[in-house]
Amino acid sequence: MTSQSLTLHRPSPLTTSTSKSLDLSRVVSGETGRYIATELLYRILVAICQRFFNAFEDFAARRLDQFATYLERSKQQKATKIGVGKLFKQIFRLRRTS
């Protein structure tokens, strides 16, 4: 951005202003207006991206928690099956010997 976009517009000496109040058209030039609009659009885009990434992070965290729960349950079921399998082996071994 050039420094010209941030300077005030100075009217030519031929035009005289009767009003001493601040005229917005003299303060904000077209280039300054574009800069402000661009800055607002970038801020809106960044806010949207942050919301998207936060939502994705929350979704990923929930899914990882669900997956951890599934793995823990699966591990317990396998341990139960192994325990039951060992119990049946012992029962069949005792039946053969008796």
**Number of compact structural domains in the chain:** 1
pLDDT one-digit tens code per residue, 45-55: 999 999 999 99
Average pLDDT over residues 26-55: 89
Cα separation of 87 and 92, whole Å?
Answer: 9
Residue 14 in domain:
no
Residue 77 in domain:
yes
Q: How far apart are the first and last CA of the chain?
A: 95
Residue 32 in domain:
yes
Average pLDDT over residues 56-79: 94
* Residue 55, domain extent: 23-97
Question: Is-contact 9 36, C-beta < 8 A?
Answer: no
Residue 2 in domain:
no
Residue 6 in domain:
no
Residue 3 has pLDDT above 60, yes or no: no
What letter represents residue 37's amino acid? A
Q: Give 94's pLDDT tier (boundaries 50, 70, 90).
A: confident
